[in-house]
Structure 1
Amino acid sequence: MTDAAPARSLTLQAPAKINLFLHVVGRRADGYHLLQSVFQLIDLADTLHFDLRTDGQIVLAEPLPGVAPEDDLCIRAARLLERAANRPLTGVTIRVEKRIPMGGGLGGGSSDAATTLLALNHLWQLGFKRAQLAELGLQLGADVPFFIGGGNAWVEGIGEQLTPLQLPRRRFLVVHPGVGVATPAVFKAPDLTRTTPSVIISDFVRAASASELFGRNDLQPVAERLEPAVKFAAQALPGSRMSGSGACVFAAFDCEAAANAALQGLRERNALPAQARMWVVSSLDQYPAAALAD
């Protein structure tokens, strides 16, 4: 009996994340900010298709509007892995069905990059360990190692220090107000809080078990000043919080019916501008592509 032929194509979901809180606790000498956060996976996801080629070329089918192919994080991830392999490879065509809003603070680009590293490590049979892929991923963005890690996590440092967390299953209503927020502008803002006292995991776990909001998002006041539509969305959705550097805000619910009722209420009140988008999503425990690595 012969071994099955190696796979030549893969289709994978690349889900988003939300920051249940985000504190800026300091700043390194190189300018990078030190954070504490909890990242929770949600089932709002891009779909990525990978098809091996025979000509060695790395090709992005249907580039995203306004993003040059060579700047796309999927292409950058593929080329980074190609350089790390340091040997001729078969090439690949990557096609992205984009659902996670760009500039939304949900980590869509980082998730796409992480799935690309995991998928191509498998298709190209490179044999890199997950820790090695996470180290490569950090060159693409601070959130990439989280997705490669495979599960929900307490996050520290610049985003590379991960402690796995078991989180209660929740439903969330996620609102994108129809604008993007420039992450560099948020972190460069002079009024950004950079000295929030550090917290400990056990405090967060106690709050989460009681379904209580914990901490805050230190980036939210700056994002709301830069883009007032973010503040408008947060005020329209009671109990909400911004994710990442914005622009999405979210609120947690114990059941889908409650989340759908909140969504319907926003629609009936015309509480948001026409360009806003809303999703009722579920939390996830595992990152789909992580099963491809050790």
Structure 2
Amino acid sequence: MEKSLNQSYFSYCKINLGLQVLNKRSDNFHNLSSIFVEVNLSDQLFFKPSDKVTVTSTNDIIANLKDNTIIKAYQVLERYAPVSKQHYNIHLVKNIPMGSGLGGGSSNAATTLNTLNALWKLNLTTEQLISIGSEIGSDVPFFINGKNQYVEGIGDKLSRLPNLKLSNYHILIINPNIHIDTAWAYRALKKGLQVPKRYPKFLDSNNQVNWGLLKNDFENVVFSTYPEISKLKEKLISREVLYAGLSGSGSTVYGIFDNKNEAMLASNLFPSYNTYITSSIA
């Protein structure tokens, strides 16, 4: 690591504890209900003063994208910065699998917004950053604060869950390296405009997770189209797992264990896949 790359920031990913797609809106977006949990599998961003903004990465695909989420966040926040601002080269060390339902790109955007807000001394409020983040992507607002949040609407209605304690659990993440097109997944659900009268909130009366209530609507369409992903969940539920499910629209599948050794044993069931044993931030 170069000494000049001395301002580094972690950019964490998320899993969805349950995800229900409620209805399609008149603007063709969808309303959803989900618990987003920030976990400590992360990318790392390095900010180095430069004459102009550039983005480099350990991942060639991102490095060659002219409109990656880091650039988008930079350009959006430039509107609030003085002309005399310091530019930066941003180097991304990519560890979070791409296109996997873990929100890596959204997290990178939010980390960029938070970091530049501090480096440029813009003093934008959390609410302002959330609003700005929504211009970049529907998951970006969550990552402004991260931790555990109840997410509704199109990702713009956020409720913090400070009493939800998950850090003692062990989360096994399995990524099959299959790209799921999110737009296809929403179309495949064939949701109408009507909002269901009742839907589960996933939490019990003490604001703790009710594992029995959790479900992800995308599993039906994703598992039927990609049986390989379905088999990952089948293997997980053969172990002593509290819950196993798809994150987002996939393709990542995860299992939650209250015993780290059991999580490690379960990871041995997936020798040909990338696996990570992690835990929640909060």
* Displacement after TM superposition at 1:180 (Å): 1.4
Pick aligned residue for 1:29 from 26, 30, 33 = 26
Instruction: Output the CA distance in 2 between the equivalents of 1:244 and 1:159.
Output: 12
Distance 1:240 1:190, change over 3 A: closer
The answer (yes or no) to whether the contact 2:23–2:192 under 8 Å persists in 1 is no
RMSD (Å) for aligned C-alpha atoms: 2.3
Q: Residue 15 of structure 1 aligns to a residue in which SS?
A: strand
Alignment of 1:189 with 2:184, yes or no, is no
Aligned to 1:61: 56
Contact map agreement 1:174 1:280 (CA 8 A) in 2: yes
> 3-state DSSP class of the match of 2:171?
strand
Unaligned runs of 5+ in 1: 1-7, 286-294
Q: Is the 8 A contact 2:57 2:93 kept in 1?
A: no
**Alpha-carbon distance change, 196 to 47 in structure 1, aligned in 2, over 3 angstroms:** farther
8 A contact 2:173–2:275 mirrored in 1: yes
Pairs within 5 Å for 1:186-265:
186-189=185-188, 191=190, 198-199=198-199, 201=201, 204-206=203-205, 209=208, 212-238=211-237, 239-264=243-268
State which drifts further: 221-230 or 28-37: 221-230
Matched, 1:43 2:43: no
Displacement after TM superposition at 1:15 (Å): 0.8
Correspondences of 1:1-294 after superposition (within 5 Å): 10-53=7-50, 55=51, 57-62=52-57, 64-67=59-62, 68-85=64-81, 87-165=83-161, 166-169=163-166, 170-189=169-188, 191=190, 198-199=198-199, 201=201, 204-206=203-205, 209=208, 212-238=211-237, 239-264=243-268, 266-267=269-270, 274=272, 276-285=273-282
| Cα distance in 1 for residues equivalent to 2:37 and 2:56 | 30
Over 3 Å counting, the alpha-carbon distance change for 1:93 and 1:75 in structure 2 is same
Q: Percent identity, please.
A: 33
Provide runs of 4+ in structure 1 moved above 6 Å: none
Q: Kindly tell me: are residues 52 and 253 of structure 1, through their superposed partners in 2, closer, same or farther at Cα, counting changes over 3 Å?
A: same
1:2-56: CA deviations, max 9, x gaps? xxxxxx9521111111000000111211000000000011111111111122x2x
Q: Unmatched 5+ residue regions in structure 2?
A: 238-242
Give the TM-score, by structure 2 length: 0.87
Quote the Cα distance in structure 2 between the aligned partners of 1:140 and 1:234. Answer: 31
After TM superposition, give the deviation of residue 144 of structure 1 in Å: 0.7
With the length of structure 1 as denominator, give the TM-score of the two structures: 0.84
Partner of 1:5: none
Query: Aligned equivalents of 1:263 and 1:198: distance in 2?
Result: 37
CA drift at 1:91: 0.8
Q: Is the 8 A contact 2:147 2:280 kept in 1?
A: no
Does the aligned pair in 2 maintain the 1:167–1:208 contact within 8 Å? yes
> Are 1:21 and 1:38, in contact at CA under 8 Å, matched by a contact in 2?
yes
The 8 Å contact of residues 24 and 191 in structure 2, kept in 1 or not, is answered as no
Cα displacement (A) at 1:177: 1.3
Instruction: Report how many aligned residue pairs link the two structures.
Output: 268
Distance 1:147 1:258, change over 3 A: same
Question: How far off is 1:254 after superposition?
Answer: 1.1
